Amino acid sequence: MKRIIAIFSVVLVFLLTGCKTNQLSRIGIISAMDNEIELLLQDAKIDHVDKIGTVDYHVGTLHGKPVVISRSGIGKVYASSGATTMLNKYNISKLIFTGIAGGVSDETEVLDVVVATKLVEHDYGILTNDKFEWVSGDPGFSDEPGTYYESDKDLVNLAYNSSIEVIGENHSFKGVIATGDQFIASETYVQELKDNYNAYACEMEGVSIAKVCMNYNVPYVVIRALSDKADGNAHDSYENFGDIAASNSSKIVLKMLESL
C-alpha cells in the first residue's frame, strides 16, 4: 500500500507541474503584434505550435537556441496573460519582450532603440475630481510615490550591446520605459512622462512582463524600437516606420541569441 501511495504521489506532482521538470529549458520571446515577431518566425525552425486559447506558442529553435515565440496581443492584460501562460506551460529560463514604442526622451529619434533598465506603470493610481495621483503598482496602496521594476542587468547589457552592433551606438539607449494602456499621441503627456518618470519611451505591455517574470523569478528584458515620438504625429509616424522599427527590434534579439 505504501508503495502504491508513493507512486501515486509522484504521478500527481508530475501532473500538477505540467511535466515542466522534464522539459528542455527554453528562451521565451513575446511580442504584442505579428510584425514584431515576423522576422523571428521566418528564421526559426519550428517543431510544433501549441494553441492555448487564441494564442499560438511556436516551439522550436532560433539560431540553434531552444525557444518559444508568441504574439500575446496589445495591452497589459494580453501581455500578462500571454507571459503567465508561457511560464506555466514551458520551462522558460529567461524572457525577452521585443517590439515597438513611442519615443519620449529628447535624446531619441524615430527608429532608435531603447532597452528598459526599469519599467514603470504610468496609468496606475487614484483619479480624483482634482487630479490623477500615481501610486504604487503593488497590491494595495503604499506611501511610496510609485514602483519601478528593474530588468535583469545581464540581459540589459547584452541587449544594449547587440543594439549597438545592429544599428549603432548613436541610436542605442538604455533607460526607463513607461507602460500604460494608451497609444500616446500628445506632446503634453509626453512632457509629463519625462517630468514624472524620466522615461525614454512609452508602450503598452512592458510592466506586465516585468510583474509576471518577477513573480516567477525569471530574468527578463524589454527591447523597444521607436516607431514614433508619441506626439501629435504619432499615428502617421507609426504607419510609416512601424514595420521597420519592429524588424530592427527583432534583429537585436537575433544578435542576442548568438551570445545566450
Residues that are catalytic: 36, 228
For residues 142 and 136, what is the distance between their CA atoms, to the nearest angstrom? 6
Element (H, E) at 208: helix 206-216
CB under 8 Å to 157, separation ≥6 — which residues?
A: none
Closest CA relative to residue 40, chosen from 91, 98, 86: 98
Q: Which of 37, 205, 175 is nearest to 114 (CA)?
A: 175
* Cell output for 143: 506611501
CA torsion sign, 174 to 65 to 149 to 184? Answer: positive
Which grid cell is 2?
A: 505504501
Q: Cell 532560433 belongs to which residue?
A: 62
**Which secondary-structure segment (H or E) carries 107?**
none
DSSP string spanning 28-43? EEEESSGGGTHHHHHH
